[in-house]
Structure 1
């Protein structure tokens, strides 16, 4: 692994005790590459997959494509329990190659028709999350709904904030949308902060609107428009 900072371990088992964003003994920020959870025991031949980088690991968004099928299925399967805390469990067929291929094909057809755009979030070459623009409408105003999910181990360190900022750029300047909406549960305070940092503001509170795991939930609705997004950019310039 290039630019890696080997952390020698005397035993076959080791434990990763650092979180992304923390510093190692050299005072450099750490990025967890192939360990999904900080503190998880691992078995690696010589050192842990912890990268000690001079700069924050590079992040990029790529538009979903057919070639992503195997990587994305592995991502969804690995983090199934964590993701289904916030959504109803998907059928078992979703996690089979055949079932996932059908789901992926439907998503690609949506993209081709301009009805949705699905982006993958890569952190230093590792799939760390996904972020989507769905329910696209062109009239009376061009708008879409924003949603995302970040893999455990990558959340809580600014990755979601940066990914939302990047997808807003694409929404307004590539896909020519004028308004974005984002529903969020009141309990998900981290997601609320991500939206606020990117210029979203509340525009509604729905009570007992959707069901999750057979329970009625409250949902906060946030929105952002192109002028607001420009103001956020200027404030951070």
Structure 2
């Protein structure tokens, strides 16, 4: 999807990220476990950005913002739990703004972050999970070359209900074969 860009999270993104997180809080919390209340309190998002910058500098995790052609923040993409020795892997997570859903942004965000992961970050494997009921997210992963390798039952609780998770993986060689 032309016009979307993936940029590393920086302290300069505080205002945009605050608006994005607050505007989409209820939407996100309907699908994933809620962030702690301190995240939304005064200074919480600023502290989270500072932590993200530290984690990137320490090669532990990488957080990116997805912006449309006009610069509007439409999503977030994260590579967390980076493991270098023996694994060269990370875990993928993403969130697309409620108003931007259904436009292919998630598919493009994952494509762009895989370029980062398998390119300049030198990772060899990226893992992701999706609730079995989240068919859209499963489709995004599959469109980007992810293959399901597992199914964990009653893996996480959300709103008092237990949910199954599907586990996916994508390898650097798969990325090169797709392009």
TM class, shorter-chain normalised? Answer: over 0.9
| Equivalence for 1:142 | 88
Unaligned runs of 5+ in 2: none
Shift of 1:86: 1.8
Shift of 1:57: 6.0
1:80 aligns with 2:10: no
| Higher RCO (CA-CA < 8 Å; seq separation 6+) | 2
1:61 aligns with 2:6: yes
List structure 1 runs of 4+ shifted beyond 3 angstroms: none
Structure 2 counterparts to residues 211-226 of structure 1, below 5 A: 211-226=157-172
Q: Which moved more, 1:89-98 or 1:179-188?
A: 89-98
1:111 aligns with 2:56: yes
CA distance in 1, matches of 2:156, 2:53: 26
For 2:41, which of 82, 91, 96 is the aligned residue? 96
CA distance in 1, matches of 2:95, 2:84: 25
| Equivalence for 1:231 | 177
CA distance in 2, matches of 1:58, 1:194: 19
How many residue pairs are counted as aligned between the two chains?
A: 178
Normalised to the residue count of structure 2, the TM-score between the two structures is 0.94
Q: What's the CA shift string for 1:147-206, capped at 9, x where partnerless?
A: 101001211121111111111000001100000000000111111111111100000000
- The 3-state SS of whatever aligns with 1:207 is strand
C-alpha change, 1:69 and 1:97, in structure 2 (3 Å) is: farther
Higher Cα Rg, which structure: 1
- The 3-state SS of whatever aligns with 2:47 is helix
Normalised to the residue count of structure 1, the TM-score between the two structures is 0.72
- The 3-state SS of whatever aligns with 1:169 is helix
What's the Cα RMSD here?
1.3
Q: What's the CA shift string for 1:85-141, capped at 9, x where partnerless?
A: 122222333213312222222121111101000000001210000000001001222
In 1, are the aligned partners of 2:132 and 2:163 still within 8 Å (CA)? no
- The 3-state SS of whatever aligns with 1:156 is coil
| Equivalence for 1:122 | 67
CA distance in 2, matches of 1:201, 1:57: 26
Higher helix share: 2
- The 3-state SS of whatever aligns with 1:105 is helix
Q: What's the CA shift string for 1:207-229, capped at 9, x where partnerless?
A: 11222233322100000001111
- The 3-state SS of whatever aligns with 2:102 is coil
